[in-house]
Every structure is written in C-alpha cells, then in structure tokens.
Chain A
Amino acid sequence: MSILIPVAVVSGLGLVFGLGLSYASKVFEVKVDERISAVREMLPGANCGACGYSGCDGLAEAIINEGVHPSRCPVGGIAVVNAIADYLGIDEGSIDVNVARVLCQGNCDNVVFKYNYLGIEDCHAANALAGGMDACSYGCVGLGSCKKVCQFDAIIVENGLARIIPEKCTGCGNCVAECPKSIIKLVPVLSGFTVKCNNHDKGVIARKNCKVGCIACQRCVKVCPSEAITMDNNLAVIDPEKCTNCGQCAEACPQKCITNTIVKRFK
C-alpha cells in the first residue's frame, strides 16, 4: 500500500506535465516547413557561416525558400550535397568546392629574420611591427591567427609556418579573411600544383630574403605545355582551369616553390 501513494503522486505529476507540454507544443506550434528541418538535419551543423548565411538554419531555409543550390555549403563535401540534392530531387550540378592553401614555404629555416619578435602570439600584433619579423614582407608570420579561427583544427603551425591539412580543410574561408598577410587563398580542391609563394619583389631581392621564394625566372612559364602559367609582376601564377597537373613546371623551378597537393578525400 505504501507504494501506491508515491507512484500515484509522481505519475500524476508526469501525466499533468505530459498533457501540458504536448498541449502547449500544439497550441504554441510555430509552423515550420518540415523539409527545412529535414535539410537542416543533413547539413553538417557546424554553423561556420562559410555559405554566407547565419549558420545551417539560415542555409536550410535558403535552400528550401530561395532555391539556393546545396553545394553552397562547402563544409559538408560531396556527401552532404548529394544527400540534399536527392532529397529535393534536383541534380547535383558542378561542385565548386574549394580548399584553403597557404601560398608560402617561408618557415624559420628558409626565411631571414629582420628582428627577434617576443610579443603577443598573434599575427596581427607582429604584422603591426614593421610588417612582421620575416625579411620577406609578403611571407607567413607563423603566429597562428589562422589556427585560432579555424573551427575544424585543419591548420597546424610548425617552425614559424602555417600549414593547412587538405583533408580537414572545409573551405569555409575564415582563415583567408583572418590572415593579415592574405597569403591564404581558396583554390579549387582538384587543382594539384600551385606556386607556394606570394612575393612580388624582384628576383635578386627575393633570393636575399628567402631561400625558397619565386625569383621570377619564368622557366615554368616557358616549359608549361598548356600555357597555364602567367607572370603577375615578378610572381608566377598557375591558372587552375588550364592546368592539367602534368607537373613539368615543378621540375623546372630552380627554387622548388611549385608543389603538388592532391586531396585524397575527393578521389
């Protein structure tokens, strides 16, 4: 008998709350298109804002109401895009998914230092002091501001140089905006070969400041079979559309600053 009263009391409360809650959720129901919540489920949910909307809820609404193409979300990769496309019955279309890449190889061993920096561990702070401690004023300062901003732990800073792990990078672009030297560029994921340098000085100055900088010798331009490489005031630039990833420019480059970083994830 002494078991009945407590059971009655608590389950009575449970019943009252059950009714109350479900009734309240019915009365105060906010009409939401269930397709939006379905799409919201499929999106990665990192709310990183790379798609330009206020997080995944914003993008889900835009996909349903404004017909934005699911590939607008670079973070999810092919899996998410296909899933939403099948759900909505539209074709996947071309995927312009990008990956961020640090166009510099100037770590502590390669680059010459102007001064010894012992201040706050932040690139903006170092950059404010005569453009950072590296002699080459275009190069990566290596104090990890980009790392602090990256939500996906895709950036590691080794030996004074930031390096982006292609597999982890989702192309959300936070680091591109953050870097005071703007040496991080968003490149199409399938483009293998890039010039890992951002230096527009004349060759002779570039050679003095950094062992692996582009000295504008133009050998790569001459050797490239598909004329994908052009000179942009003393800096070789590879055009991703034309480049066939043949790799001849990498062999030709005396400074070895053209490297190949094919991303396995999208094989």
Chain B
Amino acid sequence: MAERKKPISVLLNGLIKENPTLRLLLGMCPSLAVTTMAKNGLGMGAAATFVLVGSNLVISLIRKIVPDKVRIPAYITVIATFTTIVHLLLAAFLPELNKQLGIYIPLIVVNCIIFARAEMFAQKNGPLLSVLDGLGMGAGFTLAITAIGSVREILGAGTWMGIPVTVNLFEPAIMFILPPGGFLVMGFLVALFNKLADKKDKSLECETGCEAGCPGCSKAANGGEA
C-alpha cells in the first residue's frame, strides 16, 4: 500500500474493515472482561481512545529519533504515561466509573490494540495520519465493546445502560455476565462481522483490479486468524 493513504480511508478503516476487536482480534482482554455492562464498555472505550490517540501522536513524533535498541521500552513508557493520566483523571472526576473498571484501566497499557497500532501504523506514518488512525481504531474498539456490553447486559441482567428492558419478558441468564458469556457473545459477534465483511470481500475478490496478491498486505497477513 505504497500510495498516499487518504485520511478519510484511514479513519473509516478502523471502524469496519479493520475493526480492531472484531476483525483483527486485538485487545481481547479488556473487551471480554469489562463488557458486563454497556456503560462500562463506553467508559473503557473512551479511555482507550484517549490513550490510543495520545500515544499514536507522540510515537509518530519521536519515531525518527528513538534508536531501535530501546524502541519497545520507549514506546511502552509513552503508552503507560497516557494510561496513568487517564487513570488519574477518571479517579478524580468520575469516581464511580473508575470503581467499576477497576483493574482494567491500568491494563490499557498492555492492551494489544495500542501497542499493535504503535508498531504497525504510528511508526511508519506522520502525526496527522496516526492521530486519525488512533481515532478510527478507538471508535471501532468503543463501538465493538459497547455492542458486546449491551448484548451481555440485556441477556444477563435484563437492563440496558441501567434501564430495565426485559425484566418481565424472560428471567435474565446470569451466565452472560460471567466469563463464559463473554467468550460466547464475542464469538457470535465476530462470526456476524465475518459474514458482513465477507460479503464485501467477495466483491473484492471478483474484480481483481485491486493490487491483490502481495503477501505483505494486512488483509492477507492477519485476516481471520490473529
């Protein structure tokens, strides 16, 4: 993909085509653990987006001066700083969300999405594109985990964002709030996404106009399998 990437395509790329959680299957730990409630998903998504945009920006600025020997520690320090800043801000201004997200805020540091985007994207592109990519990826991540959170909350607790939705329809299945429910809902959503995305991909394969066949392209490299 040597040619100049259009900023808009970079932004939208993170939402559907390369949705970090449902297509590239990155950042699984928080998206399974925190999504017992849709509100948590939203909070976690927003926090992760802030960290993602911030770290993408800084990393793309310092990518030229950081020698390869200390590349990983330097990038990790940048990401950790942004995460701690989010953690402090949340603890100061949104205490009850902070109580719910608990241990998972510091774990944004090792959230694979952020480090993957830093390595894959921020290291090769300028600050503007990296920020856009961070926004796109963050929005995609937020969308995905809020969707997972909503499904799990409706099925598991009969409420959505706290509003009782299905209390008298059926007895909520607690299983969906427990870990197995997380895997299950995630699995079905990824399957749904494969169905949607594949329909578009099929058209991609027929008109072979696109510069297909290069093994380096991200679609072939880590299509379904992580």
On A, residues with C-beta under 8 Å from B are 10, 14, 17-18, 21-22, 25, 44-46, 48, 75, 77, 151-154, 156, 165-170, 264-265
Contact = CB atoms under 8 A, between A and B. Distances in A.
A264 B209 CA distance: 9
B169 interface: no
A155 B5 CA distance: 28
Among A21, A77, A153, A169, residue most surrounded by chain B Cβ atoms (within 10 Å): A153
B22 to A, nearest CB: 19
Most buried by A among B214, B216, B223: B214
A165 B70 contact: no
B70 A48 contact: no
Given A14-B77, A18-B70, A25-B69, A152 B215 contact: yes
A44 B220 contact: no
Contact of B215 (A17, A45, A167): A45
B70 A265 contact: no
Contact of B69 (A22, A48, A77): A22
A22 B70 CA distance: 8
Contacts of B69: 21-22, 25
A78 B89 CA distance: 54
B93 to A, nearest CB: 21
Contact of B73 (A17, A165, A167): A17
A53 to B, nearest CB: 16
B70 A75 contact: no
Contacts of B96: none
Highest count of chain A CB atoms <10 Å: which of B73, B208, B213, B223: B213
Interface residues of B, number: 15
Contacts, number: 52
B73 A169 contact: no
B212 interface: yes
A168 B213 contact: yes
B215 A170 contact: yes
A152 B220 contact: yes
A151 B213 contact: no
Contacts of A166: 208
Contacts of B77: 10, 14
A18 B208 CA distance: 48
Contacts of A17: 70, 73
B212 A151 contact: no
Nearest to B73: A17
A44 B208 CA distance: 20
A264 B73 contact: no
13 contacts: A14-B73, A18-B70, A21-B70, A21-B73, A22-B69, A44-B215, A46-B220, A46-B221, A48-B215, A75-B215, A165-B208, A165-B212, A167-B212
Interface string B186-199: 00000000000000
B216 A45 contact: yes
A165 B215 contact: no
Nearest to B81: A10
A245 B104 CA distance: 64
B42 to A, nearest CB: 31
Given A46-B221, A77-B213, A265-B213, 14 more contacts: A14-B77, A18-B73, A21-B70, A21-B73, A22-B70, A46-B216, A151-B220, A152-B213, A152-B215, A156-B205, A165-B205, A165-B212, A168-B212, A170-B215
Contacts of B73: 14, 17-18, 21
A166 B213 CA distance: 9
Contact of B214 (A21, A25, A44, A156): A44
Interface in B159-216: 205, 208, 212-216
Nearest to A24: B69
A169 B205 CA distance: 12
Contacts of A14: 73, 77
Contacts of B223: 153
B70 A168 contact: no
A50 to B, nearest CB: 10
Closest 10 pairs between A and B when the two form their complex, measured CB to CB: A46-B215, A168-B213, A167-B208, A44-B215, A168-B212, A167-B212, A22-B69, A167-B213, A18-B70, A25-B69
A45 B217 CA distance: 11
B198 to A, nearest CB: 11
